[in-house]
Amino acid sequence: MKTYYNPEDLKKFGNIGEFQPSLAEKFFAYYGEVFAEGALTAREKSLIALAVAHTVQCPYCIDAYSVDTLEKGCSEQEMMEAIHVAAAIRGGSSLVHGVQMMNKVKELSM
């Protein structure tokens, strides 16, 4: 069955340099450095990435960072809590616009 997303394509991510090598090289060097141990641990960064993967709803990233967080010894509870953070921000970002709606409604109402 043909689909827009093919799990096998994740393994080909490194091949994007085929069409534009220098930018790909710079991107992957930057990517590697972003995820290295720093002021945040590699483990913390992986949990952030897992949450962001759900926010941007990227199936490749969800697969990749489910594995990465497991490899880094995150518990299943930690992984789900990270996703709840993403969900809370997404939900909250809709809801906070309710203030704008209220402002408008109050402006127009007697």
Partner 1 sequence: MKSLHATQHALADPLTQLDRLEAGLRDQLGLPLFQQRLAEAGLFPLRPTQMEIFQINLGKMCNQTCAHCHVDAGPDRKEIMTRDTMQLCLDALATSDVPTVDLTGGAPEMNPHFRWFVEECHKLGKHVMVRCNLTIIVANPKYHDLPAFYRDHGVEIVSSLPFYNADKTDRQRGKGVFKESVRALQMLNAVGYGKEGSGLLLNLVYNPAGAFLPGPQEGLKRQFKRVLWSEFGIVFNDLYAITNMPISRYLDYLFTSGNFNGYLEKLVNAFNPAAAQGVMCRNTLSVSWDGYLYDCDFNQMLELPVAPTAPRHIRDFDDSALQQRDIVLHQHCYGCTAGAGSSCGGTTT
In the complex, which residues of this chain contact partner 1 (CB under 8 A)? 37, 41-43, 67-68, 70-73, 75-76
Is the Cβ of residue 33 or residue 76 nearer to partner 1 in the bound state? 76
Q: How far is the CB of 88 from partner 1 (least distance, A)?
A: 24
Rounded to whole angstroms, the Cα distance separating 66 from 58 reads 12
Q: What SS3 state is found at 92?
A: helix
DSSP string, 95-108: HTTHHHHHHHHHHH
Rounded to whole angstroms, the Cα distance separating 107 from 67 reads 50
Q: How far is the CB of 58 from partner 1 (least distance, A)?
A: 20
Three-point CA angle 22, 60, 10, nearest 5°: 55
Q: How far is the CB of 3 from partner 1 (least distance, A)?
A: 19
Is the Cβ of residue 11 or residue 104 nearer to partner 1 in the bound state? 11
Is the Cβ of residue 57 or residue 75 nearer to partner 1 in the bound state? 75
Q: What SS3 state is found at 88?
A: helix
Is the Cβ of residue 43 or residue 83 nearer to partner 1 in the bound state? 43
Q: How far is the CB of 40 from partner 1 (least distance, A)?
A: 12
